[in-house]
Structure 1
Amino acid sequence: MTPAKATLTREDWSAAALAALERHGLAAVAVEPIAKSLGATKGSFYWHFAGRDDLIAAALDQWERRDTDGVIATVDHAAEGADRLRLLLRLVLQAVVGAPGAGSIELALQPHADHPMVAPVLARVTERRMSTLESLFTDQGLSRSDARDRARLTYAAYLGHAQLAHATPGQLPKGKAYAAYVDRIVETLTP
């Protein structure tokens, strides 16, 4: 084993599994192709994981921590009041075209929403995101009912935006026009 292979961590394997999932869905989370992509052996995999299900669970956990917990923490620490909602929307909408995997992992998981490992994670992530959005809209003075409706609309807009960026990226503006487009979405969705 080369030194680079010896330094692979559980997080490295999870990130490679997420990349495979993003590109080709849950079926692509397979030990041999991921080992090959990492330049590693199956033995390295089994040093970190009991099996494929363990890898899937670790990848889903990494995705949840990075794309939900991490984003919410960034917003909570970087802004106050109305700026928190606007920052959150700008971060997630801009990330869809700017960061590898942003938005597309949700899209890759959707066909597997009834999978016993995926379903509870998708439900938890969606509820956490919806709850955060609802709280931010409530902080803007909306009633709880109106805030929940606005949170649904916002989350649906995010998923639609991710789908557009993933399936037909040419439909989205580029450069400064993209930044202005994101600003218009934020203005439309925020009270």
Structure 2
Amino acid sequence: MAVARTPRGSWIAAGLQALTSGGVEAVRIEVLAKELGVTRGGFYWHFADRQALLEEMLDAWEGDATTAVIEKAEAAGGDARTRLRRLFAVAASGEGLLTDIFTDFAIRDWSRREPAVAERLRRVDNRRMAYLRELFGEFCTDPDDVEARCTLCFMVWIGNRLLDLDHGGRSPAEVMELIQRRLLQ
């Protein structure tokens, strides 16, 4: 009788969840095995060591938080404003994504102590900005305007999760809609 193994993706997802909730120090093989209800031996079927898991977690995050988001924004086509609206919706919902903005925060924190993670984060952020530049560049002719809109868009996406504000009777969703309308003018 064949032994059922915990899928590699389950280890990666559990590792990302541990990273998100407790930082890179919380990504421990024993803890993940207990969470998954398996022995440590199953881990070594898929990964040589903890570092290999951490690398694959970064790969999954990069693919999920960049490639998958861009693919969803591009999926139904449309002009640049339509794709930007779709990008905003996908980023806000996190629907169907393995990681979320809080995983991003955990990786940003991790990158402050690990140069290789910092380099990966820079690559991801640059890819995200390149995609935003491509879209905003389709309807903005001034390169300074494109750069300002891209930077503001990116900063709002990251920063809005860190704020706890009253918006003068407006909901956070209404304020985000106002920001998006301004960016898309």
Change in 2 beyond 3 A, CA 1:99/1:74: closer
- Structure 2 residue identity aligned to 1:189: L
CA distance in 1: counterparts of 2:75 and 2:178, whole angstroms: 24
Matches within 5 A, 1:60-79: 60-79=58-77
Matches within 5 A, 1:6-155: 6-81=4-79, 82-95=81-94, 101-114=99-112, 115-155=114-154
Shift of 1:178: 5.0
- Structure 2 residue identity aligned to 1:58: E
- The alignment's C-alpha RMSD in Å is 2.6
Shift of 1:120: 2.1
Shift of 1:126: 0.3
- Structure 1 residue identity aligned to 2:102: S
SS at match of 1:163: coil
Q: Is 2:167 the counterpart of 1:184?
A: no
Shift of 1:161: 1.4
Q: List runs of 5+ in structure 1 lacking aligned partners.
A: none
Matches within 5 A, 1:165-176: 168=164, 171=165
Shift of 1:52: 0.7
Q: Deviations over 1:153-172 (max 9, x none)?
A: 111111101323xxx5xx58
Tell me the TM-score normalised to structure 1 length: 0.83
Bigger helix share = 1
Asked which structure has the greater RCO (Cα within 8 Å, sep 6+), the reply is 1
Q: List runs of 5+ in structure 2 lacking aligned partners.
A: none
Shift of 1:182: 3.1
CA distance in 2: counterparts of 1:40 and 1:116, whole angstroms: 33
Contact kept in structure 2, 1:104 and 1:163, CA below 8 Å: no
Q: Deviations over 1:107-142 (max 9, x none)?
A: 112222241341122111101101111111101223
Change in 2 beyond 3 A, CA 1:54/1:108: same
Q: Deviating runs (4+, > 4 A) in structure 1?
A: 98-101
- Equivalent pairs counted in the alignment come to 180
Change in 2 beyond 3 A, CA 1:53/1:131: same
Q: Deviations over 1:38-79 (max 9, x none)?
A: 111111001100111110111111111112100100111123
SS at match of 2:141: coil
- Higher mean C-alpha deviation, range 37-46 or range 114-123: 114-123
Tell me the TM-score normalised to structure 2 length: 0.86
SS at match of 2:56: helix
CA distance in 2: counterparts of 1:116 and 1:52, whole angstroms: 18
How much identity, in percent, do the aligned residues show? 34
- Structure 2 residue identity aligned to 1:9: P
- Structure 2 residue identity aligned to 1:75: A
